[in-house]
Amino acid sequence: MNNDSFSNSDDDGSEGADPAKAPELIKWDAPAMTTGVASIDEQHQELIAKINELYRIHLAGATVDDIKPVLKFLGDYAKKHFQFEEELMEKTKCPMHHTNCLAHARFLKDYQELVTNFSLDQDADQTATEIERMAARWLSAHICRVDVALREIPKE
């Protein structure tokens, strides 16, 4: 696999741009995304921050070897977060528990397939873009449609 740097310049013309000034791919929208469970909201914000970090380093021309640890962190963190969230939903008898478990399993399967493709693919740039976009779209939609059901659970 070639470890030359690559960037996603055809999206926004930001090749070589300062990654700190790159636009965010996903934003925390408190009114739409807050679940009312502080630890879950903090974990969601960490996932958003890592997806944005991945996006920024990719735009800045990071190498495949630079991106792999971020992908690993995202996958590992998502697994831990999902387990925590599923246990909370089960404990509180949240009506979205089963839907949430199915959605998490599907995301992890799809994410792992893309990460595997990233490691093997000759077009790592395109695969990195797919990972970023899939993760950002999925997380935003999932929080706003499923996780916000936690707002309805009784607070201790």
Task: Give the residue among 32, 149, 26, 129 at the shortest CA–CA distance from 71.
Answer: 129
Q: Which amino acid would we find at residue 14?
A: S
Structural contact between residues 111 and 81, judged by C-beta atoms closer than 8 angstroms = no
Asked if residues 20 and 56 have their Cβ atoms less than 8 Å apart, the reply is yes
3-state SS assignment for residue 154: coil
The pair of structure tokens assigned to 74 is: 């995202």
Q: CATH assignment of 30-152, given 1.20.120.50, 2.40.50.100, 3.40.640.10, 1.10.3720.10?
A: 1.20.120.50
Q: Where are the domains of the chain?
A: 30-152
Structure tokens at 52: 């944005």
Orientation of helix 64-91 relative to helix 124-145, angle to 10°: 20
Count of residues making up the chain: 156
Digitized pLDDT (tens) for each residue of the chain, 156 residues in all: 334 333 333 344 444 455 556 679 999 999 999 999 999 999 999 999 999 999 999 999 999 999 999 999 999 999 999 999 999 999 999 999 999 999 999 999 999 999 998 988 767 889 999 999 999 999 999 999 999 999 998 766
